[in-house]
């Protein structure tokens, strides 16, 4: 393809892997399979207004939230794209309480996949951007089919992380620790094409904050001061603007490309906030760091948090380094 500017995601992944002659190809295959699953989910998301798929399935997920049909569909698509390839030892999904084993009829591999199949599900019915988030770790236990220990690894040990945003176009953004790269789905040929190479969060940072401000009265005073500080924005040359979609992937995608800070803090009744460490906060933290930003719980780096359970929640401050640092400074003062 020399002489053309078209780089498919498959080509990008293969060329990146070529730098590591010892690589088995397994890792590339997982990313390529994830891209395939994303295309299938994207097609279904785009059909959501046309087919009778909206509405609730009638059961709750492990967080006690109503599960919608597209969540289940997305989870099944990802699981079935990955269960038979021999590359994974197990998977973890937001929609499943326990880890998802690889069926005995298929071989198991050396990697763990953790994912949120369809984040922002409350936005499905209203045609607002939603997304998929994923994270890949290497198996550390000696067990063929993977154990809880394989899933509960610190974020710093991630080998790859990414997300797909189903928005005005569908984009897949990923990192393997060599920068952050974004691909836009061309639906006419069914391929993700490189559209955003080596993404860097804008520096100096743009004055945007993204938070559910309706929670302000429930926040601790220190958190209220964080928001007040950004509202005033004195140190940065003027007041910030607010942008909040209520879909983490979409809010993060904007923060990555435009700059600013996304915040989902704890409050008095939910000290750890709402977002899940393993398949929401951690993968986006890895991407943010690779793009020159960072992520914090408010007191420590997200990538240093040692998980203790699959669905554990964590406060999240994510985006431009100087804003995350400032939020952390105020929160640490208490």
Name which of 208 and 264 has its Cβ closer to ligand AHM. Answer: 264
Name which of 32 and 44 has its Cβ closer to ligand AHM. Answer: 44
Q: Is residue 273 at the binding interface for ligand AHM, with CB under 6 A as the rule?
A: no
Alpha carbon distance 240, 59 (integer Å): 40
Name which of 109 and 131 has its Cβ closer to ligand AHM. Answer: 131
The single residue among 109, 117, 120, 259 that binds ligand AHM, judged by CB under 6 A, is: 120
Alpha carbon distance 160, 113 (integer Å): 10
- Per-residue binder mask for ligand AHM (CB under 6 A), 191-230, x = binder: ---------------------x------------------
Contacts of Mg ion in 261-280 (CB under 5 A): none
Give me the residues paired with residue 160 across strands.
136
Using alpha carbons, select from 76, 91, 140 the residue that is nearest to residue 310: 91
List the single partner that 65 binds among ligand AHM, Mg ion, none, CB under 5 to 8 Å by kind: ligand AHM
Q: Is residue 251 at the binding interface for Mg ion, with CB under 5 A as the rule?
A: no
Name which of 119 and 191 has its Cβ closer to Mg ion. Answer: 119
Name which of 119 and 191 has its Cβ closer to ligand AHM. Answer: 119
Alpha carbon distance 279, 302 (integer Å): 12
Question: Half-sphere exposure of residue 207, counting CA atoms within 13 Å on the CB side?
Answer: 14
Contacts of Mg ion in 98-117 (CB under 5 A): 116
Omega of the bond prior to 204 within 30 degrees of 0, cis?
A: yes
Q: Is residue 119 at the binding interface for ligand AHM, with CB under 6 A as the rule?
A: yes
Stretch that binds ligand AHM, among 2-10, 13-21, 119-127, 304-312 (CB under 6 A): 119-127
| Least CB distance to ligand AHM at residue 63 (A) | 7
Alpha carbon distance 97, 326 (integer Å): 36
Classify the C-alpha dihedral 236-175-68-124 as positive or negative. positive
List the single partner that 229 binds among ligand AHM, Mg ion, none, CB under 5 to 8 Å by kind: none
Using alpha carbons, select from 319, 247, 328, 316 the residue that is nearest to residue 289: 319
Stretch that binds ligand AHM, among 8-16, 25-33, 152-160, 242-250 (CB under 6 A): 242-250
| Least CB distance to ligand AHM at residue 215 (A) | 7
Alpha carbon distance 186, 189 (integer Å): 6
| Residue 309 φ/ψ region, left for φ over 0, alpha for ψ in the -120 to 50 degree band, beta for the rest | beta
CA distances from 2 to 11, 19, 198 (A): 12, 18, 20
The single residue among 33, 119, 150, 326 that binds Mg ion, judged by CB under 5 A, is: 119
Q: Is residue 247 at the binding interface for ligand AHM, with CB under 6 A as the rule?
A: yes
Secondary structure of residue 255 in the 3-state scheme: helix
Q: Provide the token pair at 21.
A: 């002659």
Name which of 17 and 116 has its Cβ closer to Mg ion. Answer: 116
| Least CB distance to Mg ion at residue 116 (A) | 4
DSSP 81-144: HHTTSS-EEEEEETT-SS-EEPPTTS---SEEEEEEEEE-GGGGGGT--EEEEEEEEE--SS-T
- Per-residue binder mask for ligand AHM (CB under 6 A), 48-77, x = binder: -----------------x------------
Q: Strands 160-166, 130-138: parallel, antiparallel or unpaired by DSSP? A: antiparallel
List residues binding Mg ion (CB under 5 A): 116, 119
Q: Which residues in this chain contact ligand AHM in the complex, by CB under 6 A?
A: 65, 119-122, 212, 246-248, 264, 274
């Amino acid at each position: 393809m020399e002489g053309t500017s078209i780089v498919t995601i498959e080509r990008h992944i293969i060329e990146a892997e070529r730098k590591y002659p010892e690589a088995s190809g397994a890792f590339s295959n997982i990313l390529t399979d994830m891209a395939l699953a994303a295309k299938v989910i994207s097609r279904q998301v785009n059909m959501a207004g046309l087919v009778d798929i909206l509405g609730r399935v009638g059961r709750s997920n492990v967080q006690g939230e109503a599960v919608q049909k597209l969540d289940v569909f997305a989870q099944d698509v990802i699981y079935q794209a990955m269960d038979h390839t021999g590359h994974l030892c197990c998977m973890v999904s937001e929609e499943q309480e326990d880890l998802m084993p690889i069926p005995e009829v298929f071989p198991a591999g050396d990697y763990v996949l953790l994912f949120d199949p369809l984040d922002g599900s409350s936005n499905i019915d209203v045609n607002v951007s939603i997304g998929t988030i994923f994270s890949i770790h290497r198996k550390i236990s000696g067990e063929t089919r993977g154990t809880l220990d394989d899933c509960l690894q610190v974020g710093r040990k991630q080998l790859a992380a990414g997300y797909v945003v189903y928005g005005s176009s569908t984009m897949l953004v990923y990192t393997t620790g060599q920068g952050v790269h974004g691909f836009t789905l061309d639906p006419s040929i069914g391929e993700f094409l490189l559209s955003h190479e080596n993404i860097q969060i804008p520096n100096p940072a743009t004055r945007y904050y993204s938070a559910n401000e309706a929670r302000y009265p429930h926040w601790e005073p220190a958190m209220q001061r964080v928001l007040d500080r950004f509202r005033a924005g004195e140190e940065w040359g003027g007041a910030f603007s607010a942008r909040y979609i209520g879909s983490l992937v979409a809010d993060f995608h904007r923060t990555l490309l435009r700059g600013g800070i996304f915040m989902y803090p704890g409050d008095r009744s939910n000290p750890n906030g709402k977002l899940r460490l393993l398949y929401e906060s951690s993968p986006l933290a890895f991407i943010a760091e690779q793009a020159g930003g960072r992520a914090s719980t408010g007191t420590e780096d997200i990538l240093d948090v040692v998980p203790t359970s699959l669905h554990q929640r964590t406060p999240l401050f994510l985006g431009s380094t100087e804003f995350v640092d400032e939020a952390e400074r105020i929160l640490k003062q208490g």
